[in-house]
Amino acid sequence: MAKKKAARVKSAGKTTNDPAQQTLPGVDEPRITMVETSVKRLLAIKTDMTSLKEEKMGLLDKISGLLQKNGIKNYKCLGKEVFLEPGSPIVKIKTAKAQA
Question: First-to-last CA distance in the chain?
Answer: 73
Give the global pTM.
0.57
pLDDT of residue 96: 81
Count CA atoms closer than 13 A to 23's CA, side-chain side: 8
Dump pLDDT digits (tens) for 25-51.
776 667 788 998 999 999 999 999 999
Dump pLDDT digits (tens) for 12-31.
555 556 667 776 677 666 77
**Higher pLDDT among residues 27 and 71, named by residue:** 71
| 8 A C-beta contact, residue 43 and residue 16 | no
Which residues partner with 74 through β-bridges? Answer: 83
Give the domain ranges of the chain. 33-95
